[in-house]
Amino acid sequence: MYTRSFSISLLLGIIMVCGALAQTLTSFTTQNEQGITASSTINQVIVPETKKLPSFSQFVKEAIESLEKKKTEGPHGYLMVDDYGKFTGVTETLSYQGTSYMWNECQPGEVVKINNKSYTPAGCSYCSGLTLEIFHKAMKLRDRYMGITPVKENWNGIGPKGIFVIKKLWNVIPIRYADTKQKVTDNPCPAVALQLSGIGRIITLGEPDKFELVQPYDFCDFSRSNGGGHSVIFLDWLRDEQNKITGFKYYSSQKYTQGQGVASEHFSDSGGKVLRDSFHIGRVYDDPAQDTPNQIREMDFVL
């Protein structure tokens, strides 16, 4: 009798243990089928793979590719005129936080009179307008990649007035804040605009010893010995047989490429006209987590 009772008790105990184990395993399997990566029964946390953010240069490259495609599909050209609210050197109107700040509201074939002259600006651009458009489109592409919708866009605290300040600096126009009459900067250019906004940094402001730090798809502007200047996206260096930097390839808008396209120039000490000490380069940080405090005030400005 004792032996039989013990056997039955033992059998019941085994059944209970097996049942509990089966329930635990079933619970663990169900949790994993539902995508839960941690279990209370096993001291292990499985961290899902994080989506790596590409370098910002990849978004710049994609923006350029879209402009090249656009050039094959419709009107294009170089046009260095401004008509506020109608055409300001970009191939299409640019808006940030619901505010338009650069314009091309012209339809194909539409004739627009600017300063008593007739133009057909649809699809046209000029250099600083196009490089600002590329910056704008690259920022939008990164936002989309990160799942940020236009209604939630916020480029390091830049507001609808601040974007106009950046626009002026990008176009190398000296401005002052309207309330204090203080200069925004003594050196307006894209590189300084990026640094002041905190979304990027200066690579070089004409220091030749920093030229080797320059990378493809950096934002660049420069002056020439004949008094001209240009705003471009840097692509690559041109070098002589001794590997000395003599010039560079770039992407921008110019007459001889009929608007957006690839071009090249040499420095004034290497048979060209570009002044080395005016060669400015800026770069957007790859990750918004790298941004530094924004110094662009949300304020109107005066020239």
Q: What is the pLDDT of residues 90-139, one digit of tens each?
A: 999 999 999 999 999 999 999 999 999 999 999 999 999 999 999 999 99
Mean pLDDT lowest for which of 3-12, 81-90, 198-207?
3-12
* Model confidence at 254: pLDDT above 50: yes
Residues 235 and 267 both lie in one domain: yes
CA pair distance 20, 103, nearest whole angstrom: 69
pLDDT digits (tens, 9 = 90+) for 257-276: 999 999 999 999 999 999 99
Instruction: Check residue 9 and give its pLDDT.
Output: 43
Compute the mean pLDDT over every residue in the chain, rounded to the nearest whole number: 88
CA pair distance 198, 291, nearest whole angstrom: 5
pLDDT digits (tens, 9 = 90+) for 282-297: 999 999 999 999 999 9
CA max distance for the chain: 117
Q: What is the DSSP letter of 196?
A: H
The DSSP H or E segment spanning 144 is: helix 127-145
Whether the CB-CB separation of 164 and 193 falls below 8 Å is answered with no
Whether the CB-CB separation of 24 and 42 falls below 8 Å is answered with no
* Model confidence at 24: pLDDT above 50: no
Residues 71 and 175 both lie in one domain: yes
Residues 225 and 148 both lie in one domain: yes
CA pair distance 221, 127, nearest whole angstrom: 10
Tell me the residue length of the chain.
303
Q: What is the DSSP letter of 3?
A: H
Residue 241, classified by CB atoms within 10 Å of its CB into exposed (0-12), middle (13-18) or buried (19+), is exposed
Q: Is residue 12 part of a domain?
A: no
Residues 63 and 35 both lie in one domain: no
Residues 188 and 296 both lie in one domain: yes
Whether the CB-CB separation of 100 and 93 falls below 8 Å is answered with yes
Instruction: State the total domains in the chain.
Output: 2
Per-residue burial over 162-175, b if 16 or more Cβ lie within 10 Å, else e, is bbbbbbbbbbbeeb
Instruction: Check residue 152 and give its pLDDT.
Output: 97
CA pair distance 237, 147, nearest whole angstrom: 35
**CB neighbourhood size of 133 (10 A):** 23
CA pair distance 255, 53, nearest whole angstrom: 36
Residues 80 and 40 both lie in one domain: no
pLDDT digits (tens, 9 = 90+) for 41-77: 333 333 344 568 999 999 999 999 999 999 999 999 9
CA pair distance 35, 29, nearest whole angstrom: 10
CA pair distance 215, 100, nearest whole angstrom: 30
CA pair distance 152, 146, nearest whole angstrom: 12
Whose structure tokens read 């940094």? 201
Residues 30 and 166 both lie in one domain: no
Tokens of 263: 């071009």
Residues 170 and 29 both lie in one domain: no
Nearest-CA neighbor of 288 among 148, 189, 129?
148
Residues 227 and 104 both lie in one domain: yes
Residues 151 and 205 both lie in one domain: yes
* Model confidence at 30: pLDDT above 80: no
Which residue did the predictor score with more confidence, 111 or 20? 111
CA distances from 80 to 89, 133, 163, 224 (A): 7, 15, 21, 18
Residues 174 and 201 both lie in one domain: yes
Residues 154 and 41 both lie in one domain: no
* Model confidence at 87: pLDDT above 70: yes
* Model confidence at 40: pLDDT above 90: no
Q: Is residue 2 part of a domain?
A: no
**CB neighbourhood size of 225 (10 A):** 12
Instruction: Check residue 257 and give its pLDDT.
Output: 98
Domain that holds residue 42: 22-49
